[in-house]
Chain A
Amino acid sequence: MRKGLTIGMIVGGIALMVISYFGLTAPWGAESVANSEPRLQFAPLVFVLGVMMAFGSALVYEMLPDRDED
């Protein structure tokens, strides 16, 4: 449970980063106005949440008790 949640947070965090960076923020390029318009507003915030989720997994790994310890 603890390890599963930790790995889930790391994978989920990285997924959020990748999806927001490549899919939700403004597309790369300088050809049109669309390159300045995020595909989803606050997409950079999603990226930040992904970073925090990935690093927050360390808290879960260390602080969440194992089921057999309860």
Chain B
Amino acid sequence: MATATHEATLPRGVGRLTRGWIVFVVAMVAISALGWFAYVREYTEGMTVTGMRNVGTMGGATWGLYITFVVYFVGVSFAGITIAAVIRLFNLQTLRPLARMAEVLTVVSLVLGAIAIVADLGQPLRGIVNLFRYARPQSPFFGTFTMVIAGYLFASLVYLWLTSRRDASLLAERPSRLRWLHRFVAAGYTDTPVERERHSKATFWLAVSILPMLVVAHSTLGFVFGLQVGRPGWYSALMAPAFVVLAGVSGTGLLIVLAAIVRKTMAKDVGLTTEVFAWLGRFMMFLLMIYVYFMVTELLTATYAGSARELQVTREMLWGEYSWIFWTSVALLVVPLIGLGFQAIARTWNIPWLVVAGIAVNLGAIGKRYLIAVPSQTHGQLLPYVDGSYAPSWIEYAVVASLTAFGALVIGVFMKVLPIVEIDGEEEVANA
């Protein structure tokens, strides 16, 4: 059931509200509302409604599920903009259908990461104002909020807007209820050779400057943990590079899932061929191999030559309280790696299997992010406190679920407002 208006003639399903899409939106809005209700309770009643407690004195963890998802969401953004920038820098035409959705994924996941930080702050306004007021440049947090949240998000938004102008101008030529919006996004773009040349130069240099910035930005987030010498389990030179690599794994996995959904929902062939998925599969496999290598190296170092507290944190992860999360996460990363390896050797790529692998590595990445944040706080005290524990409350689960739902909702709405896959040419609008 699609609305039988001018929107039916817009390409890529823009403006067409199907029954399935409406059900999806209602479900996502409902989950988002539940999370909002949970957050209002947290804001009014205080952080005591969460499972987080002071480290040491209260035997808890002050960074829990929210920080796990901050790191996860920011990580997802990494692969999105990297792939989008690489496609434009090296003019990889086969992968071009991925570019827009990779850009959208980046912007949405960065916004979710920023909201997750706000949810983690008992007094969000105080936190936000004071960061802008007092942040010290030698603190990794300075880099995290200036480079990741402000610079990286702003640069990604500029990039997304500039790369969307051409499609918006093509859509604005057709009568529809969204014409005003398409005209606004197009911002006077008319697709002349001069404008195309200018656009090509602007996006090239943007891509060139975004790529190094995002490596710095993601490393900074890794340094938030990796530079804390007094926290066994965190202090490691591998923390920053491992952050970047696992970020690439989770982002590529999510991009595979999104590309498969778009391929399934689009009535026409939009260029999301098996070759595109094979490229993503190979890229994810390569990153997974590096990450598994980092993981083994880290574990060997900690168990072979680690201090007593370092050993205890590792023991808790391998055989103690957190072992089920650790081994499940390892399985969720290693099994897809083996599967991808078999597909790469056989040179046959199965899209449903890649989607399963994409979901699995994301669940594995969330588990690994949790293991980075929590065990060091509950079992890594250098002061003589007894070991603690942490279990997220329903409030935290609801907020995190609502953030995920909100992200899915934004992407779903974007797909109905602008093409999630770039339009090939003017004729496509005319013939749609």
Contacts and interface: CB of A to CB of B under 8 A. Distances in A.
Contacts of B135: 25, 38, 44
Given A48-B151, A51-B151, A58-B205, 8 more contacts: A25-B135, A25-B137, A28-B138, A44-B131, A44-B135, A47-B146, A55-B154, A58-B159
A5 interface: no
Q: Which of A29, A36, A44, A59 is most buried by chain B, counting CB atoms within 10 A of its CB?
A: A44
A26 B146 contact: no
Interface in A1-59: 21-22, 25-26, 28-29, 35-38, 41-42, 44-45, 47-48, 51-52, 54-56, 58-59
Interface stretch (B195-203, B302-310, B361-369, B372-380): B195-203
10 contacts: A38-B134, A38-B135, A44-B132, A44-B134, A44-B146, A54-B209, A55-B158, A58-B202, A58-B203, A62-B202
Given A51-B146, A62-B202, A63-B187, A35 B162 contact: no
A69 B161 CA distance: 22
B275 to A, nearest CB: 31
Contacts of B199: 62
Nearest to A54: B209
B142 A44 contact: yes
Nearest to B137: A25
B85 to A, nearest CB: 13
Q: Tell me what chain B mostly uses at the interface: helix, strand, loop, or mixed.
A: helix
Interface of B: 131-138, 142, 145-147, 150-151, 154-155, 158-159, 161-162, 165, 187-188, 194-195, 198-199, 201-203, 205-206, 209
Contact of B133 (A28, A38, A51, A52): A38
Contact of B151 (A41, A42, A52, A69): A52
A21 B147 CA distance: 12
Given A48-B146, A52-B154, A58 B133 contact: no
Q: How large is the interface on A (under 10, 10 to 19, 20 to 34, 35 or more residues)?
A: 20 to 34
A59 B154 contact: no
A26 B151 contact: no
B206 A58 contact: yes
Contacts of B209: 54-55
Contacts of A62: 162, 165, 195, 198-199, 202
Contacts of A48: 132, 146, 150-151
Interface of A: 21-22, 25-26, 28-29, 35-38, 41-42, 44-45, 47-48, 51-52, 54-56, 58-59, 61-63, 69
Nearest to A53: B154
A56 B158 contact: yes
Nearest to B132: A45
B150 A52 contact: yes
Nearest to B201: A61
Contacts of A44: 131-135, 137, 142, 145-146
Contacts of A45: 132-133
A37 to B, nearest CB: 8
B136 A26 contact: yes
Contacts of B134: 26, 36-38, 41, 44
Nearest to A48: B150
3 nearest A-B pairs in the assembled complex, by CB-CB distance: A51-B151, A44-B135, A48-B150
A28 B142 CA distance: 13
A26 to B, nearest CB: 5
User: Which of A29, A61, A63 has most chain B Cβ within 10 Å?
Assistant: A63
Most B CB contacts (10 A, CB to CB) among A36, A37, A52 go to A52
A36 B133 contact: no
B158 A58 contact: yes
A35 B162 CA distance: 41
B155 A55 contact: yes
B109 to A, nearest CB: 18
A3 B122 CA distance: 46
B136 A59 contact: no
A1 B132 CA distance: 33
Contacts of B203: 58
Nearest to A55: B155
A25 B161 CA distance: 32
A45 B131 CA distance: 9
B187 to A, nearest CB: 6
Given A47-B146, A51-B150, A58-B205, A41 B133 contact: yes
